[in-house]
């Protein structure tokens, strides 16, 4: 037996053809929708009350966050979405719905409104383009049995009309063991790919998804394998493949790019394409969105991962929770066609 790293061989035109078909796909998204608030400030003095800076508010902006950012990404790339989530009966929930109104068909969605729940809001205090503190307001009570049944019934009615599923789990109460037990077999029965952006509390409950997309921290915590070196990452990926019985695992690793593990035994290291990193907020949502759309077109997972890596390199160069357009993605593919194909695959023989 021999093991060697071999350069991934692919026609860059294949990636452009996949992205060009994004407007033909529809994705059902189940997850924790939330509101992202950005407060841009200027600091010019220290408070006389305590040794802390006084931040003068210059402007406030609001953007869809969490699973709502996945919705935002998919629609910006030309796809259609069928969203499933929950918000509170409050001003923040109303604001979030207004932000999504131009992107989501309200008649074909399942956004539950719970008067006993607060809409999840993440407030980021920014100064000179850098995040200095984040304040979270949330209630993470799991969906009730009645709410879960309503969601599963909705998904059952819509499953045949979509091309793929996303489970966007931010551990805010929407994604539960009972919900996954209802949705994952249903999607499999319809032959639709499910891409999961996981949290470690439900790690083993994702069994049966087609692709799981954890970051390195989530992969380490979910498997119990401490990161030491590249061997550690390979062990994490193989553990997840085995225990979740999925077709592929894509571990996102920040400046170290991504590691793709396929059921057939192939492991591909994909180096980052980011030239400038201003803000990583929402980059994982972009990866999840692009992978799900590419798979929904029938693309192989490696091509989906390379496209997602390219997309992530764009959004990290933007400040705040950002989405990218299909035109931006196609332009970046042309700009970085040589770098995109610098992935290397672990080949067993």
Distance linking the first and last C-alpha atoms of the chain = 5
Cβ atoms of 72 and 101 closer than 8 Å? no
Rounded-to-integer distance, Cα 314 and Cα 311, Å: 5
Which residues are tagged catalytic? 285
Half-sphere exposure of residue 17: CA atoms within 13 angstroms, side-chain side:
9
H/E stretch holding 294: helix 283-296
Rounded-to-integer distance, Cα 204 and Cα 153, Å: 23
Nearest to 106 by CA among 89, 79, 81: 81
Rounded-to-integer distance, Cα 117 and Cα 114, Å: 5
Kindly report the backbone phi and psi dihedral angles of residue 12, in degrees, each rounded to the nearest multiple of 5, phi listed first.
-60, -25
Rounded-to-integer distance, Cα 113 and Cα 132, Å: 32
Rounded-to-integer distance, Cα 293 and Cα 47, Å: 49
Give one DSSP letter per residue of 234-276, joined into a string. HHHHHHHHHHHT-SEEEEE-GGG-EEEEETTS-EEEE----S-
Cα–Cα distances in angstroms (integers) from residue 254 to residues 1, 125, 165, 262, in the given order: 32, 22, 25, 20
| 128 burial level (CB within 10 Å; 0-12, 13-18, 19+) | exposed
| 263 burial level (CB within 10 Å; 0-12, 13-18, 19+) | middle
């Amino acid at each position: 037996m021999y093991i060697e790293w071999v350069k991934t061989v692919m026609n860059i035109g294949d990636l452009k053809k996949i992205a060009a078909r994004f407007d033909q796909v529809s994705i059902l998204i189940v997850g924790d929708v939330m509101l992202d608030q950005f407060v841009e400030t200027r600091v010019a003095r220290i408070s006389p009350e305590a040794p802390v800076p006084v931040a003068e508010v210059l402007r406030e902006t609001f953007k869809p966050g969490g699973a709502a950012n996945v919705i935002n990404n998919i629609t910006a790339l030309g796809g259609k979405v069928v969203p499933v989530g929950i918000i509170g009966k409050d001003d923040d929930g109303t604001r979030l719905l207004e932000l999504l109104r131009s992107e989501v068909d309200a008649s074909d969605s399942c956004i539950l409104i719970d008067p006993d729940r607060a809409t999840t809001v993440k407030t980021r205090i920014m100064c000179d383009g850098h995040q200095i503190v984040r304040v979270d307001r949330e209630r993470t009570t799991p969906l009730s049995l009645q709410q879960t049944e309503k969601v599963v019934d909705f998904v059952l009615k819509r499953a045949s009309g979509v091309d793929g599923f996303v489970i966007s789990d931010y551990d805010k109460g929407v994604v539960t063991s009972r919900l996954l037990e209802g949705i994952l077999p249903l999607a499999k029965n319809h032959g639709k790919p499910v891409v999961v952006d996981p949290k470690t509390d439900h790690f083993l409950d994702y069994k049966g998804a087609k692709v799981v997309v954890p970051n390195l921290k989530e992969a380490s915590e979910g498997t119990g394998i401490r990161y030491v070196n590249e061997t550690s990452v390979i062990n994490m990926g193989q553990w997840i493949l085995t225990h979740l019985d999925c077709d592929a695992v894509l571990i996102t690793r920040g400046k170290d790019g991504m590691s793709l593990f396929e059921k057939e035994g192939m492991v591909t290291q994909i180096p980052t394409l980011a030239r400038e990193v201003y803000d990583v907020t929402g980059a994982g949502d972009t990866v999840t969105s692009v992978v799900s759309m590419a798979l929904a077109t029938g693309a192989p997972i490696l091509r989906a991962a390379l496209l997602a890596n390219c997309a992530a390199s764009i959004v990290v160069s933007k400040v705040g929770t950002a989405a990218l357009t299909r035109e931006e993605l196609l332009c970046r593919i042309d700009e970085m066609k040589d770098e995109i194909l610098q992935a290397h695959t672990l080949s067993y023989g």
